[in-house]
Amino acid sequence: MRFLLTCFLCQALLAGAIAAEDVGSLLKLAESAFRERRLGEAARVYERVLITAPKNLHALSNLAVVRLHQKRYKDAKTEANRGLSFHPEDPFLLMVLGCSHYRMNEFDQAEVALNRALELDPRNTEALNYLGWTYWALGEHKKSWEIYFRLQAIDPSFRPPADQKPRGPQFTPRIREG
């Protein structure tokens, strides 16, 4: 029944039947779709929010994250850059941009974006994790381990790879909670 209701709301949304001022409800709908791994639906809802509220930080950020989860890295980078054009000092968007660069093997650009994100939010564990892998990919293993020890100091449950060859980050960022 919940699935049918969600589908009905999505259809109404796409038909333009939901008022523009109901952005909060739309964001909740998109977050629900994301959590249930209905990424296409989540992306459509975030896009609809951005039609009515083009500078909405949550929709901009989360659409970029959805694109990462869809493995549409170029689109994720585009969405993150669009968000940064409105919110240039947002560490979450910078982290998503860095992840996009990393996934596209643009490690030098990933390093810049992730370091900037960490200047603004030094305890951002997702940015630290990706920066560690970025340094590893750049062949800067000492810097990589320094990042991992820094990450472990923030999150004692974090365990860097010990005797195995690193495979890169095994997760994609979560959406911005709001």
Q: Has residue 111 been placed in a domain? A: yes
Lowest-confidence segment of 86-95, 128-137, 154-163 by average pLDDT: 154-163
* Structural domain includes residue 43: no
Residue 108 lies in a domain: yes
**pLDDT tens track for 10-60:** 555 554 544 555 887 887 877 877 877 888 888 888 888 788 888 888 889
Structural domain range at position 175: 89-178
Strand intervals (E) in the chain: none
Token pair listed for 153: 């100091």
Mean pLDDT (whole number) for 89-106: 95
pTM listed for this prediction: 0.77
H or E element, residue 40: helix 39-52
Give me the number of domains the chain comprises: 1
Decide if 81 is inside a domain: no
State both tokens at 24.
């909060």
Residue 166's SS3 state is coil
